[in-house]
Amino acid sequence: MDEQRKQIILKEINFWKESRMLPEQYCNYLLTIYSEGSNLQTEKVQTKVRSNIPILAILCVLFLPISVYVLYFTELSLNLQIFILGLILVITTLFMIRLTKKQIIWRHLSYCVFAFLCLEISIELFSRIFKLTTVGFGVILLLNCLIWILIGLVKKLNYFVISGIACSIIFIAYVFFTF
């Protein structure tokens, strides 16, 4: 078998392994056969790199309670709160970009954290700049829901579409039954 064909097969098997289309043991077996045993060292390096990804996702999730703590349970100045939340949003964006490039399942978690952080920051900024009323809160909430629906449609992420529609319906029902 020529070298180019082997490389194509090896790339395909690695893709199967990363996307979990086949069990890891089968992929390792096929990689060993097609690489004639020379792929064993690179595989160990890849597992070390991949082990950092769940840590990134956990850190990303931890930013939600940290941002709630910074906003509601500290007496920091407004400028410092905005700076910390902006820093958290930038770090979450970097995590989101890195996880999206890897095309792994953890990227969806970073999308959700980013969406909730944007919702939290927009509500907090609106409440600090203007007096937060039910109408103002509703406008901010519905705008965020609309953004979630649009992102869900563009990126084909059904959970964004569903959560945007569900949140909009719940808020409209709340307004309808309270007034």
Q: pTM above 0.75?
A: no
Amino acid identity for residue 157 in this structure: L
68 and 58 inside one domain: yes
CA distance 19 to 2: 26
- Domain limits at 14? 3-50
Residue with tokens 């449609």: 153
Same domain, 95 and 153: no
The 10s digit of each residue's pLDDT in 4-60 is 888 888 888 888 888 878 788 888 888 888 887 775 545 444 444 455 777 777 887
Shared domain for 56 and 92, answered yes or no, is yes
| Tens of pLDDT, residues 82-108 | 888 889 889 888 888 887 777 677 788
